[in-house]
Structure 1
Amino acid sequence: MAFQHNLKLGESINNNQLTSIFLCSPQGGMRRSHKTNTLVIVSDHTNLLYEDRWEGKVFHYTGMGQNGDQDINYMQNRTLAESRTNGVEIHLFEVFRESEYIYMGEVSLSAAPYEEQQLDKGDKLRKVVVFPVTLKSAKNPIAVPEKLVQEKNALKEKNAAKLTNEQVLNRALNASRKAATRKTVAKTFDRDPNVMEYAKRWASGICQLCEKSAPYFNKKNKPHLHTHHIKWLSKGGEDTIENTVALCPNCHDKMHILDLQEDVHKLKQKVKNHNFKLLMEV
């Protein structure tokens, strides 16, 4: 018999409510409850460690383990991996603000778990187990308020700006190549903040198209430049440092209105000639 939680898709609850409803632990990203025969998986987007993402209708959820290679047989990784046969219900929540858990719905594995590389808590590259899941009661992921996605992206950008050049380079080089997408009021792309931060530091305050200094400094006394994907994400471009440059607002506007081939070629040449293993102190 299915567990009766009485939550509606898109409903927001706090951690205490989640714990009391599912009778699970108040901590962790994967919370097993034997009393309700459920596994709550929490994708906390305020946590910079895991790279969970929607790709269309499939949510790619990173397994347990913060340091070193992950093991598919480790604790709740195994529960989720065997969820097609063990009878455990899987319920997905996403977090965009601290202590605000949005119920996305019951999910099930849509394909076999696979391995990919991500950075661990110590910024060391490791293998992680990724579980592709889809919603059981809805054809598409529910739309979340665009403001929440913007707040999450702003938080990640703020945290990326605090990193050392070495950390930014390491995280940008190992960022997921495909931009995550999700449904809001309008379709938005979850851009990797480390890729954006790298492009700005590489530019060192100079627009990479017109080659003039940024028009002004922002409130944090940093040159105001926009990051731009040479091949737009909406056209299949990758969210990588090889496809991202920093432009003054005027040139950024020009690229989105005209996207002239000579400008595209110039930016591609800059990327081609750049040594991405180096990032000078700024």
Structure 2
Amino acid sequence: MKFNPNLKIGQILTNNQIGKLFKSTIYMGMRRSLETNTLVLVSDHTKLYEDRWEGNVFHYTGMGKNGPQSLSFHQNKTLAESNTNGVDVYLFEVLKPQEYIFIGQVVLVGEPYQEEQFGEDKKLRTVWVFPLKLVNDKKPIKIPKKLIEIKEKEREKLARKLSNEELNLRAKNARRKAINRTVTTKNYERNPFVTEYAKRWAKGICQLCEKPAPYRNKRDEPHLHTHHIDWLSLGGEDSIYNTVALCPNCHDKMHVLDLKKDVMKLKEVLARHFRENINQYKKALS
């Protein structure tokens, strides 16, 4: 008899409830249950993994925390063969610690592909990514914007804990395409490594008016906003090559006026920064 979890889309469970319902482990992101003939996928966005929605397709990173992943390794193989092996696949997302949102039953809609991501050992490695869609081509549920904001704050906390060396590596290797998912209002999810990188190299100085940040936040850091010179809503990259740090007044000015002279100045600030980086690298090698 086919297993029916009897869950409502959007229902929030605890980790232990998932284990009891699906008769599975509670300790991994990919949880195979022989008893219910299911594979539960948990995508925890409060950690440094890079699962993402692109339209109606969810790109899920495979199993293996360090080193290059193998497609034949444990549940990677199960998921890769899920359209023919009879195993039903269910997806949960974590946007707030300890809250597992049931997204629904999913199916593989394309060939797994490889890309580079960082492992838990902070080393860049090759992973397998699985493109998934909800069954019957359903659209993903609309997530309350408040939950997305909580998730972004959790990831920003993680980014702030990184050393300059690790942050530079992660920011420079970040995907340039902004994550666009359906929420109660349209939302572009910023990469926290790119955001933190821009703020650190600004060193508390607005990159447009060139004045110090007007005040310091509760963490005693200069309060600056990050700004995408070419707006994400118009196709701009979410990358360190398109992101600057501005005081609140200049950030507001850019979104109200977006003057060509200001855009050109900010692009020159970025270009100069990366020219200096290259020169420093050459000196280090000589």
Structure-to-structure mapping, 1:151-170, within 5 angstroms: 151-170=150-169
State the 1:98 CA deviation: 2.2
Matched, 1:115 2:114: yes
Q: Letter of the 1:247 partner, please give it.
A: L
State the 1:139 CA deviation: 2.4
Contact persistence 2:13–2:101 (CA under 8 A): yes
Structure 1: which 4+ aligned runs deviate by more than 4 Å? 276-279
Contact persistence 1:119–1:174 (CA under 8 A): no
Q: Letter of the 2:223 partner, please give it.
A: H
2:9 corresponds in structure 1 to 9
1:105 corresponds in structure 2 to 104
Provide the C-alpha distance between the structure 2 equivalents of 1:95 and 1:137, rounded to a whole number of angstroms: 23
Q: Which sections of structure 2, spanning at least 5 residues, go unmatched?
A: 282-286
1:238 corresponds in structure 2 to 237
Provide the C-alpha distance between the structure 1 equivalents of 2:153 and 2:84, rounded to a whole number of angstroms: 40
Provide the C-alpha distance between the structure 2 equivalents of 1:256 and 1:73, rounded to a whole number of angstroms: 49
State the 1:195 CA deviation: 0.5
For the residue of structure 1 that corresponds to 2:43, the secondary structure is strand
2:38 corresponds in structure 1 to 38
1:216 corresponds in structure 2 to 215
For the residue of structure 1 that corresponds to 2:270, the secondary structure is helix
> Scaled by the length of structure 1, what TM-score is found?
0.95
State the 1:137 CA deviation: 4.3
For the residue of structure 2 that corresponds to 1:127, the secondary structure is strand
Provide the C-alpha distance between the structure 2 equivalents of 1:101 and 1:162, rounded to a whole number of angstroms: 25
Q: Letter of the 1:54 partner, please give it.
A: W
Provide the C-alpha distance between the structure 2 equivalents of 1:166 and 1:100, rounded to a whole number of angstroms: 32
State the 1:2 CA deviation: 3.4
> Scaled by the length of structure 2, what TM-score is found?
0.94
Contact persistence 1:200–1:227 (CA under 8 A): yes
Contact persistence 1:105–1:137 (CA under 8 A): no
Provide the C-alpha distance between the structure 2 equivalents of 1:41 and 1:221, rounded to a whole number of angstroms: 39
2:28 corresponds in structure 1 to 28
Task: State the identity %.
Answer: 58
For the residue of structure 2 that corresponds to 1:274, the secondary structure is helix
Matched, 1:19 2:10: no
Provide the C-alpha distance between the structure 1 equivalents of 2:217 and 2:71, rounded to a whole number of angstroms: 46
Provide the C-alpha distance between the structure 1 equivalents of 2:160 and 2:137, rounded to a whole number of angstroms: 37
2:284 corresponds in structure 1 to none
Structure-to-structure mapping, 1:195-206, within 5 angstroms: 195-206=194-205
Q: How many residues align?
A: 278
Provide the C-alpha distance between the structure 2 equivalents of 1:195 and 1:43, rounded to a whole number of angstroms: 21
Structure-to-structure mapping, 1:61-210, within 5 angstroms: 61-137=60-136, 139-210=138-209
Provide the C-alpha distance between the structure 1 equivalents of 2:259 and 2:3, rounded to a whole number of angstroms: 56
Q: Letter of the 2:245 partner, please give it.
A: A
For the residue of structure 2 that corresponds to 1:242, the secondary structure is coil
Provide the C-alpha distance between the structure 2 equivalents of 1:104 and 1:24, rounded to a whole number of angstroms: 18
Alpha-carbon RMSD across the aligned residues, in angstroms, is 1.4
**CA-to-partner distance for each residue in 1:126-174, whole Å, 9 max, x for gaps?**
1000000000145211011211110110111122112211111111011
Provide the C-alpha distance between the structure 2 equivalents of 1:47 and 1:274, rounded to a whole number of angstroms: 30
**CA-to-partner distance for each residue in 1:22-61, whole Å, 9 max, x for gaps?**
111111000001111100000011121x100000000000
Contact persistence 2:47–2:158 (CA under 8 A): no
Moved more, 214-223 or 29-38: 214-223
Provide the C-alpha distance between the structure 1 equivalents of 2:223 and 2:26, rounded to a whole number of angstroms: 41
